[in-house]
Amino acid sequence: MRSLQSYATRWTIKNLIPTILNTETAIPVQRKKLDKLMGTAPLPWGVSARKVNIRGLSALWIDVDSKNQRTLLFLHGGAYNIGSIDSHKECAARLGKAAKANVLLIDYRLAPEHAFPAGLDDAVMAYQWLLRQGYKASNISIAGDSAGGGLALAAAMKLRDTGIPLPACLCLISPWTDLTMSGDSVKSNATKDIMLNPAWMRLMAHNYAGPDKLADPLASPHYGEYKGLPPIIIHVGADELILSDSERLASKAKENGVEVTIDINPDMWHIWHIHAGFMPEAKKALKKLGRFIVSQSDDQA
């Protein structure tokens, strides 16, 4: 049974988010509005954060648990054009707490000012920075929501192809993996999705990858090769516009011998996890992801 909080949250999103995420609102305005909306949420109890600089890249180090070496590289969502460490610090901290892992949340470069592969290069560079700090790849997980989920998958593919040690696992929340928007759910869920609309997403995709690279495997990892990737967990809402991205990812990963778990949540919308401070369904989802991260890490403390 759905919680009363989920009904209230759904109503709020349906009436508020479309006023921000649309093709008419300038991207700098979208960024400011999203940061203002999500950035005021406090970090969970017992968690602290400090800014760090990684070769000119702004990032936030979220201290959750100093007793183990488990670490989470979190790549925020925002269709590659918006989103920041401010908008996603609470969600990243809550996932870190669920996994008993410290978190590195990065402000990777955004389109349209910095097109593909700038964000991908930043994600890979941040992962390598963690390795240089002495963290073992087997204790690092990469997580991301929406575009951040697609970016996490693309980063793992690039790490594999360049021979860099792979992370313990990938934790993908409502991942956007196909910038060409070819999935069946783009049509079948067009009236169900309360957050996203195809016109806005196509504009964001064009800003990021241009007309010629939408199907590049490292921009749209749906078109990439998954063999040899680390274990993957996927969370997606049944009402999502990009539900097909997750379904096809899980099917292809399984066919390529990758350990994959997909959790399709009824009546849930895009990245409902960000409401974990209020909504029981979101808290439960983050706990599931946290348990998976712990189970895949060398450090079981």
Quick check: 186 pLDDT over 90?
yes
**DSSP states along 71-103:** EEEEE--STTTS--HHHHHHHHHHHHHHHT-EE
Quick check: 102 pLDDT over 70?
yes
The Cβ of residue 12 has, within 10 Å, a number of other Cβ atoms equal to 13
CA-to-CA distance for 225 and 254, rounded, in angstroms?
A: 12
Question: What mean pLDDT do residues 147-157 have?
Answer: 98
Ordered domains of the chain (ranges, CATH): 4-296 (3.40.50.1820)
Question: What mean pLDDT do residues 82-94 have?
Answer: 97
CA 201 to centroid of chain Cα atoms: 16
Amino acid identity of 150? G
Record the pTM.
0.97
| The pLDDT of residue 247 | 98
Question: What mean pLDDT do residues 235-256 have?
Answer: 98
Pairing of β 169-173 and β 260-265: unpaired
Q: Among all residues, which ones are annotated catalytic?
A: 146, 240, 270
Long-range contacts of 86-90 (CB under 8 A, 24+ apart): 86/35, 86/38, 86/39, 87/34, 87/35, 87/37, 87/38, 87/39, 88/38, 88/145, 88/148, 88/274, 89/39, 89/43, 89/49, 89/60, 89/62, 90/38, 90/41, 90/42, 90/43, 90/44, 90/274, 90/277
| The pLDDT of residue 39 | 87
Q: What is the CA radius of gyration of the chain?
A: 17
29 Cβ contact partners less than 8 Å away, ≥ 6 residues apart = none
Round the average pLDDT of the chain to a whole number and report it: 96
Percentage above 70 pLDDT, the chain: 99
| The pLDDT of residue 300 | 63
Structure tokens at 188: 């079948």
Q: Tell me the backbone φ, ψ of residue 248, rounded to 5 degrees.
A: -70, -35
| Nearest of 219, 201, 199 to residue 209 by alpha carbon | 219
- Location of structure tokens 């409902």: 272
CA-to-CA distance for 290 and 270, rounded, in angstroms?
A: 19
Model pLDDT for residues 5-56, shown as the tens digit of each residue: 999 999 999 999 999 999 999 999 999 999 999 988 889 999 999 999 999 9
Percentage above 90 pLDDT, the chain: 95
| The pLDDT of residue 268 | 96
Quick check: 66 pLDDT over 90?
no
Question: What mean pLDDT do residues 74-92 have?
Answer: 98
| The pLDDT of residue 301 | 58
CA-to-CA distance for 242 and 26, rounded, in angstroms?
A: 23
CA-to-CA distance for 281 and 2, rounded, in angstroms?
A: 8
Residues of 63-92 as b/e, b for ≥16 C-beta within 10 angstroms?
Answer: ebbeebbbbbbbbbbbbbbbbbbbbbbbbb
Q: In this structure, are residues 154 and 224 in contact, taking their beta carbons and an 8 Å threshold? A: yes
CA-to-CA distance for 84 and 65, rounded, in angstroms?
A: 23
Question: What mean pLDDT do residues 131-155 have?
Answer: 98
Q: In this structure, are residues 173 and 166 in contact, taking their beta carbons and an 8 Å threshold? A: no
Q: Which segment of 60-69, 190-199, 225-234 scores lowest on mean pLDDT?
A: 60-69
